[in-house]
Amino acid sequence: MPELPEVETVRRGLAPVMEGQVIVKAEVNRPDLRWPFPDGMARRLTGARVLALRRRSKYVLADLSTGETLLVHLGMSGRMLISGDPLGKFAHDHPAAQKHDHVVLHMDSGARITFNDPRRFGAMDLMATLDAEHHPLLAALGPEPLSNVFNETHLVTRFGKRNTPVKSALLDQKVVAGLGNIYVCETLYRARINPMHKAGSIATSRLEALVPIIRQVLTEAIEAGGSSLRDFRQADGELGYFQHSFDVYGREGEPCHTAGCPDSVHRIVQSGRSTFYCPTCQR
């Protein structure tokens, strides 16, 4: 499932094509994805101007001139693809409609935004912009890891005496929003922290050092356009490239990247998810 860097990459790709533009026609080709679409979604989107495109955790949020905000979650295989962009950054010709093109937004510039989702685990919803932070999917989220609110004091306080593994604690969206399996594995490797250590047992100095590492990993991933492992594509259809920089994720049995380390990358399962780490370097 796309994590923060992938969603931010999609948002950045969509912004120059959607912000300031009017949705002259919205097509909704099925009643639901993961959940039912809101009533009258096509009608409510048609004629609305996109005032701003932002991201919260793993969600893209489009603030509209109607006072509503469109929430988009890509799910496992969702893609938001652009065609016909008059700025010349994307393919000019609109492709033929595909089986899994569930929502199509026609912009007044001539661009078309298509939400394609073969597995239908994605989601869309409409909510009042002024009340967006109270939406059930957003209300309990922790701070953004690239924001000033996410700092050393916050992480030390939230970890407290937690008896859960540090990897599970970092995946808790109430602690920090947007982190997923890939980037937690990569972060813990760089921080030299064993993913099985109890969150509350890690020294304060090591937790404080973890915060800038989280930011560094996410920033590098965003600059690389995210990670493309299965279905993820950027808004222009291109792959992300950060997977070529993985130190541990998906590298079970391969040599550790730390110079002089004789060990290899190991894989364990934590809470039903694969964890990749080096037992020698991460203590």
Q: Is 12 helix (H, G, I), strand (E, B) or coil?
A: helix
> Per the residue annotation, which of 3, 8, 68, 186 is the catalytic one?
3
CA-nearest of 65, 69, 104, 73 to 11 is: 73
Is 273 annotated as catalytic? Answer: yes
Determine whether 192 is an active site residue. Answer: no
Nearest C-alpha neighbor of 124 from the set 79, 73, 77: 73
The C-alpha angle 271, 146, 278, rounded to 5 degrees, equals 40
Which residue among the candidates 12, 34, 54, 273 is catalytic per the annotation?
Answer: 273
Q: Identify the active-site residue in 2, 5, 145, 165.
A: 2
Query: Which of the residues 11, 56, 58, 112 is marked catalytic?
Result: 58
Residues in CB range of 196: below 8 A, 6 or more apart: 165, 166, 167, 268, 270
3 is catalytic: yes
Taking Cα atoms as reference points, which of 204, 154, 205 lies closest to residue 176?
154
Between the CA of residue 152 and those of 33, 56, 126, 211, 242, what are the distances in Å? 38, 21, 35, 6, 26
Catalytic residue positions? 2-3, 58, 273
